[in-house]
Amino acid sequence: DQQVKQNSPSLSVQEGRISILNCDYTNSMFDYFLWYKKYPAEGPTFLISISSIKDKNEDGRFTVFLNKSAKHLSLHIVPSQPGDSAVYFCAASVGSNYKLTFGKGTLLTVNP
């Protein structure tokens, strides 16, 4: 039972353009969402997060948008750089339970 879904296994964009990674969830109890980036043979690295009381959070080139009614969030990377090429995981948690539920990840390739 996948509560967090990333339906695009891969995404390819040109350097300098916008990358949009999508994530859907089914559990309406989720109230905190995170994005992680993962390079091969390394652990996931925290990128950006958003609480369910917000609909947008921005950090430099990275912006996360949350649409609670659609149970959908997205990560925008502008402008995309070749160093952004990695697997991006969406994760969600409920209240004070710090268990993170992860999506399957999307492989982003940014072409020079």
Partner 1 sequence: DTAVSQTPKYLVTQMGNDKSIKCEQNLGHDTMYWYKQDSKKFLKIMFSYNNKELIINETVPNRFSPKSPDKAHLNLHINSLELGDSAVYFCASSQFGLAGREQYFGPGTRLTVT
DSSP β-ladder status, 72-77 and 86-94: unpaired
Q: Give the number of other Cβ atoms within 10 Å of residue 60's Cβ.
A: 8
- The DSSP element (H or E) to which 2 belongs, if any, is none
List the one residue from 23, 86, 89, 110 that touches partner 1 (CB under 8 A). Answer: 89
| Separation CA 18–CA 25 (nearest Å) | 23
Binding mask 42-61 for partner 1 (x = CB under 8 A): xxxxx--x------------
Structure token pair of residue 108: 């982003």
Please report, as a single letter, which amino acid is at residue 99.
K
How near is the Cβ of 42 to partner 1 at its closest, in Å? Answer: 6
- Whole-angstrom Cα Rg for the chain: 13
List the one residue from 1, 69, 70, 98 that touches partner 1 (CB under 8 A). Answer: 98
- The reply to whether 27 sits near partner 1 by the rule CB under 8 A is no
Residue 11 or 100: the one with the smaller Cβ distance to partner 1 is: 100
Q: Which parts of this chain interact with partner 1 (CB under 8 A)?
A: 32, 34, 36, 41-46, 49, 87, 89, 93, 97-102, 104-105
